[in-house]
Structure 1
Amino acid sequence: MAIDLVLRRDWHARDPHGDYTQLDSTKGVKVHYTGGKVDPGIVHDHKGCVELVQSIQNFHMDGNGWIDIGYSFIACPHEKVFEGRGLHHLPAANGAGLNAGHYAVLGLVGNAGLIQPPDGVLSGILDAVQYCRDRGNAGREIKGHRDGFQTDCPGDPLYAWVKKGAPRPGGGTPHPPPAAPPFPGRLLTYPPVMTGEDVKTWQRQMHKRGWNIAADGAYGPDSRDVCRRFQRNQGIPDDGVVGPQTWRLAWDAPLP
């Protein structure tokens, strides 16, 4: 299963106003909805999803006075998952005293307008849940915000899905991994530092897979270190060189 992750830089997230509290592990994930009206037009317009996530961040930071958007991840109708506070950072949306127990994943539905969660939202939530398990040391629980906190969130339709065990739409058929772009034709090696759009493409994909790597377009010692660890995970020679095999596996290899 692959997650279609929209990184903070790609949705033009604001920088947090302070440092996150470290979150080493959780019991699982709590599911949320917006609690307001969501324009049904976002189902056919991903730009509307981006603008909605930005507006939620603005409200949380400027209205609530939080350091950042309160959610760990946000799932939209296009099966995309926006990176909020991300992995190993304490969320703020679960409620006082409850945030350390679960990551917080928002589905872009509300209490008016778009109320029934489209399949893309449900699949995105599940992709985020699995990502939190694979990379964020999250436990098996999937609960609603109202579990343990007095609120209507995540709304009756989304909560009913949670109570059914959060089944994946379409009978649980796994998503195929995204196709790897053509190998750029040159080996990515260090030293010296190599730069270019092909470097950035590989770095972005590794970040989507959960590796701590900056997509700065410069293949230096940090990128080589990530490459070596990834190669060892895949059981191939750990030479730190992104050649055709390592490039392809960055997209084709299943997440652990």
Structure 2
Amino acid sequence: MKLITRAQWGARPSRYRLTHISGTKGVKIHYEGTHVPASLGRPDAHDQCAPRVRAIQASHLANDEEDYSDIAYNALVCPHGAVFEGRGAHRKTGANGTAALNAGHYAVCALLGSSGLTEPTDAQLSGLRDAVEWLRSDGDAGDEIKGHRDGHPTACPGGPLYAWVQRGAPRPGGGGGTDTPVPRYEPFPGVDWFKRNPRSPIVTAMGRRLVAVGCSAYREGPGPQWTEADRRSYARWQQRLGYRGADADGWPGRKSWNALKVPKV
């Protein structure tokens, strides 16, 4: 994934504190719905994409009627396949139409218009899949991929993009559609689950990831039974992430767990 962070594209600070959400049912696909110059799709026009994302954020922050906290989308995808971080993972979107719809799905916007540039490029479709998979792995998004118009009276995301959504949002060249599940990661089971000394394949998968990232405190294993060696190994991972003191006690937390990316068992 070609991720362009907020700092890299020059995002302004949020006006208000963004609302944290633990996860969603999935992702809804959007488009700009205005004129987007066809020239933006040229291979040599990528330097125009970050200014366009900044302009979208500026228009949202200036919208007194909607009173947006920030750019409304969790991510935006340009015709060249780059994923621009918007509100990001675990942040409630402001784009889906109502408070309930915003809590139900993340929102990813293609830099695509109702005139001018109306057909998504293959790179853009791949970038949209990248954004969906990123929100699944880092934001606990569910399996649904829908259009903005699903559940809200709007033409968004336009005919061509909505037709792609209805086909299962396949990655160009094959793979990544509804018939080919993308790799997923184990959702955070909660710190209390670990404190009950579980015996589970999840513990083994976690231990193997800790070994892979160089945080092993194991003499044997890792195995399915949670042990003090697991806790010490996890403490090393927390320290790797910059946690100190009581924050690096070896008991998994949601943010450190999501960062570890334990494969689904």
Q: Same fold (TM over 0.5)?
A: yes
- Aligned residues: percent identity? 47
The residue number in structure 2 matching 1:101 is 104
d(CA) in 2 for partners of 1:235, 1:12:
31
The residue number in structure 2 matching 1:232 is 210
Aligned CA-pair RMSD: 2.4
1:125 to partner: Cα distance: 0.6
Contact 1:41/1:48 (<8 A) preserved:
no
Contact 2:209/2:262 (<8 A) preserved:
no
SS of the residue corresponding to residue 69 of structure 2 reads coil
Q: 1:42-191, aligned counterparts within 5 Å?
A: 42-43=40-41, 44=43, 45-63=45-63, 64-96=66-98, 97-172=100-175
d(CA) in 2 for partners of 1:119, 1:39:
18
CA distances 1:172-208 after superposition (whole Å, capped 9, x unpaired): 38xxxxxxxxxxxxxxxxxxxxxxxxxxxxxxxxxxx
- Structure 1 runs, 4 residues or longer, greater than 6 Å off: 239-242
Distance 1:170 1:236, change over 3 A: same
The residue number in structure 2 matching 1:207 is none
Contact 2:137/2:261 (<8 A) preserved:
no
d(CA) in 1 for partners of 2:211, 2:95:
34
Distance 1:230 1:75, change over 3 A: farther
Contact 1:134/1:255 (<8 A) preserved:
no
Unpaired segments ≥5 residues, structure 2: 177-206, 217-235, 241-259
Task: Give the stretch that moved more between structures: 103-112 or 43-52.
Answer: 43-52
Unpaired segments ≥5 residues, structure 1: 174-228, 243-252
1:47 to partner: Cα distance: 1.6
Higher relative contact order (CA closer than 8 Å, sequence separation 6+)? 1
The residue number in structure 2 matching 1:30 is 28
d(CA) in 2 for partners of 1:153, 1:117:
14
- Give aligned pairs, total: 189
SS of the residue corresponding to residue 62 of structure 2 reads helix
1:42 to partner: Cα distance: 1.7
SS of the residue corresponding to residue 42 of structure 1 reads helix
